[in-house]
Amino acid sequence: MTVLGEGERAVTADDSETRAEDSELQRESERIAQLIEDLGALAGAPVRQRAEELVRRLIHLYGEGLRRLMGIFAAGPLEPTARARLRDDALLSSLLVLHDLHPDADAAAEHDPGPDPAAAASPALVQIDLARGAQSGKRGGQA
């Protein structure tokens, strides 16, 4: 019998499925970046800039949707199980941290999607790195 420490949980078939899904999502993220690069190479900088603007606007729309969803959760206390599930899901955590919406302020250290695009000297495509391990985050979430 294995005894799990505080914060640990048993690995399940769902974990294997989640890792496979995360791997697929990582490939999707890389493909999006490659498609934008290809557009720039094929049609030049103006087309690449328009594609990047399109992606930024889409990110803004789903970020607003996530903000509204988290507003619904904020109406009452978030149960520890739900909070842990949000933190354990690399995709959800990355999206919530990206938009500074994660209810667990420490999640940024584990799921920081990279530099804040608003702080960049020039606009850049944001890529969510699902394979990233624990790192010091530059952005915090909401408590």
Tell me which DSSP letter residue 47 carries: H
Picking from 106, 97, 86, the residue whose alpha carbon sits closest to that of residue 128 is 97
pTM score, two decimals? 0.53
State the SS3 of 74-121: CCCCCCHHHHHHHHHCHHHHHHHHHCCCCCCCCHHHHHCCCCCHHHCC
Q: What is the pLDDT along the chain (143 residues), one digit of tens a residue?
A: 445 455 555 556 677 887 888 889 889 989 999 999 999 999 999 999 999 999 999 989 889 988 888 887 888 888 888 888 888 888 888 888 888 888 887 877 776 655 554 444 444 444 555 454 333 333 334 33
